[in-house]
């Protein structure tokens, strides 16, 4: 297969882990080429990192529009590069912004789009994506039947694997399509020091069973001992116990970590839709009939306020 474009997600000059996962997956279906937009002075470092993970070519476009506009500038650039390179496929991280960019690019290219893929393979010279559907109750294989396939891939779908390649840089001039909504101010979100929820390899989530906002202290303590992100069920978020930005579920964020710990979460379909593709699932709940136990790899019937502190202590002890 031909050139596979990978939109490299980066922040403060650092390439995000999902972008390295995309480059790893791209090698399965063709020759990866990285697309770096608005990198500024860090472009050379980002290009080198992309080459380290298999990018034979790195398209770099740097312009004020990437900072001043929302998604439109990225769509302009990615669509124009895809046309000029006659790309065999375009891969984008399956985030909120990523899916909007992918949908607009697919429309510009007159192509089909596949979202939330969890695996990629080449079949008869075409990329085939594996998706988890119907709240991850089924897995299906899908392919785009017309145009250049545009595919968004969930973070943590694979482990990044280095495979040094040329990483030859090609500077690109983008023809922007016109006026768009502009960013007039930015307020940095206060960092918790924990990993980004959608990118974390381990997620510890609390639900209605924590009882109050103060109850999340034991959830946070376990998360910190594991180097994990903290999630919350919709019930906990609606009760005002934890920020909406940490909600996991159909109306929150979808996560697919290596390990997902659900504490005091019943396992309603709304929540399962956001975490059911996790590789290993552990649940702690006082109710032995809780639906979450139908889904888990390991279940503990017990009081989370007794179980989690013991688990935290054991983790710390084993870490020394």
E strand spans, 8-56: 10-11, 14-15, 31-37
Question: What ranges make up the beta strands (E) of 55-195?
Answer: 57-61, 89-93, 113-123, 126-133, 138-142, 150-153, 168-171
Within 10 A of 148 (CB to CB), how many other CB atoms are there? 22
pLDDT value of residue 135: 65
State the maximum Cα–Cα separation within the chain, in Å, rounded to a whole number.
Answer: 60
Q: What is the pLDDT of residue 120?
A: 97
Taking CA 274 as the corner, what is the angle to CA 263 and CA 36, rounded to the nearest 5 degrees? 120
The per-residue pLDDT string of the chain (320 residues; one tens digit each, 9 = 90 and over) reads: 689 999 999 988 899 999 999 999 999 999 999 999 998 888 889 999 999 999 999 999 999 899 888 899 999 999 999 999 999 999 999 988 999 999 999 999 999 999 999 999 999 989 999 998 876 678 999 999 999 999 999 999 999 999 999 889 999 999 998 776 788 888 887 777 899 999 899 999 999 999 999 999 999 999 999 999 999 999 999 999 999 999 999 889 989 999 999 999 999 988 998 998 899 999 999 999 999 999 899 999 999 999 999 999 999 999 98
Q: Kind and range of the H or E element at 202?
A: strand 202-206
Structure tokens that stand for 40 in this block: 């500024």
Give dist(CA 144, CA 116) in Å, integer: 14
Q: How many alpha carbons fall within 13 Å on the CB side of residue 114?
A: 27
- Give the span between the Cα atoms of 62 and 38, in whole angstroms: 4
What DSSP character marks residue 248? B
Q: Please list the alpha-helical segments (H only) found in 114-233.
A: 216-226
- In this prediction, residue 82 carries a pLDDT of 97
Question: What pLDDT is stored for residue 191 in this prediction?
Answer: 74
Res 41: pLDDT: 81
Q: How many residues does the chain have?
A: 320
Burial class (CB in 10 A: 0-12, 13-18, 19+), 86: exposed
pLDDT given for residue 183 in this prediction: 85
């Amino acid at each position: 297969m031909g050139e596979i474009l990978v939109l490299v997600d980066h922040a403060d000059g650092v390439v995000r882990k999902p972008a390295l996962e995309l480059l790893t997956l791209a090698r399965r279906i063709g020759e990866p080429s990285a697309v770096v937009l608005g990198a500024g002075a860090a472009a050379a470092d980002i290009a080198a990192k992309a080459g380290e993970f298999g990018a034979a070519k790195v398209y770099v476009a740097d312009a004020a529009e990437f900072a001043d506009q929302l998604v439109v500038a990225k769509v302009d650039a990615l669509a124009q590069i895809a046309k000029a390179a006659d790309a065999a496929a375009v891969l984008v991280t399956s985030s909120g912004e990523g899916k909007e960019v992918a949908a607009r690019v697919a429309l510009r290219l007159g192509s089909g789009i596949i979202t939330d893929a969890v695996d990629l393979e080449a079949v008869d010279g075409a990329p085939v994506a594996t998706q988890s559907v119907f709240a991850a109750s089924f897995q299906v294989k899908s392919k785009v039947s017309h145009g250049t396939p545009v595919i968004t891939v969930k973070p943590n779908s694979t482990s990044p694997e280095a495979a040094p390649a040329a990483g030859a840089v090609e500077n690109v001039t983008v023809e922007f399509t016109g006026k768009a909504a502009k960013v007039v101010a930015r307020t940095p979100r206060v960092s918790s020091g924990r990993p980004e929820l959608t990118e974390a390899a381990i997620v510890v989530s609390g639900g209605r069973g924590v009882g109050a906002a103060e109850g999340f202290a034991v959830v946070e303590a376990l998360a910190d001992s594991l180097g994990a992100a903290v999630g919350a069920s919709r019930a906990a978020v609606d009760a005002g116990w934890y920020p909406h930005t940490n909600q996991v579920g159909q109306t929150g964020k979808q996560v697919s970590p290596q390990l997902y710990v659900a504490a005091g979460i019943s396992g309603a379909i709304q929540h399962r839709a956001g975490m059911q593709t996790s590789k290993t699932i552990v649940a702690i709940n006082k109710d032995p009939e809780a639906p979450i136990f139908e889904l888990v790899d390991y279940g503990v019937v017990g009081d989370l306020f007794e179980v989690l502190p013991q688990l935290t202590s054991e983790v710390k002890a084993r870490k020394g």
